[in-house]
Amino acid sequence: MSCKRYRRLLWSYASDELRAAERAAVEQHLTCCAHCRHTLQSVQQTLQALRAMPRHRAPESLLARVHAEIARQPAKRTAVPSGRRWMVPLGWRWALAPVLGVLVALLWWWSQSPHPTPPQPFPEVAVTSQEYAETCIEMHQQLEMADWAGTPTANYLITTGFTR
């Protein structure tokens, strides 16, 4: 173990806070390290001076007043209606006013500007593909008959509406 590690233990050694094994290890190191012995001396003197420092105690009457005030604090907090706790304090409300104004202006600008309508889905085909194919074939046949026939047939006139 290095001197740096022992230096940390010297404070606990001087305060008699070490376990037996650690204490023995520190004492063994101190027998062969003059630097740590010197450090221990300054640690002990510093510790002694620290513990001799005056403890500035407040008068009992002041302590009693402080404790009484602390005891009153939770009562003040609970006195606030629970339904209004979400409300923003007045100072913050003033600070938020410009932000709200900008938001309203943006919303108005967005509602006024032309924006592309989203693509509409194709209307549903009323007939099935089978029916559509049959209709196409039928019309094709009628057109063929109209192209090739010298005079329109009665069937062609009836299906195409040229009855007059």
List contacts with another protein (CB under 8 A).
Answer: 7-8, 11, 41-43, 45-47, 49-53, 55
| Closer Cβ to another protein, 45 or 135, answer by number | 45
Distance between CA atoms of 101 and 93, rounded to whole angstroms? 12
| Closer Cβ to another protein, 16 or 147, answer by number | 16
Distance between CA atoms of 154 and 142, rounded to whole angstroms? 11
Distance between CA atoms of 27 and 46, rounded to whole angstroms? 20
Instruction: Answer yes or no: are the C-beta atoms of 14 and 27 closer than 8 Å.
Output: no
Residues 6+ apart with CB under 8 A from 160: 142, 146
Residues 6+ apart with CB under 8 A from 26: 6, 9, 10, 13, 18
| Closer Cβ to another protein, 49 or 125, answer by number | 49
| Closer Cβ to another protein, 7 or 23, answer by number | 7
End-to-end CA distance of the chain: 120
In the complex, minimum distance from the CB of residue 28 to another protein, in angstroms, rounded to a whole number: 22
In the complex, minimum distance from the CB of residue 30 to another protein, in angstroms, rounded to a whole number: 17
In the complex, minimum distance from the CB of residue 108 to another protein, in angstroms, rounded to a whole number: 48
Q: Specify the DSSP element, H or E, that contains 12.
A: helix 3-14
In the complex, minimum distance from the CB of residue 7 to another protein, in angstroms, rounded to a whole number: 8
| Closer Cβ to another protein, 41 or 155, answer by number | 41
Residue bearing tokens 């009855």: 163
In the complex, minimum distance from the CB of residue 4 to another protein, in angstroms, rounded to a whole number: 11
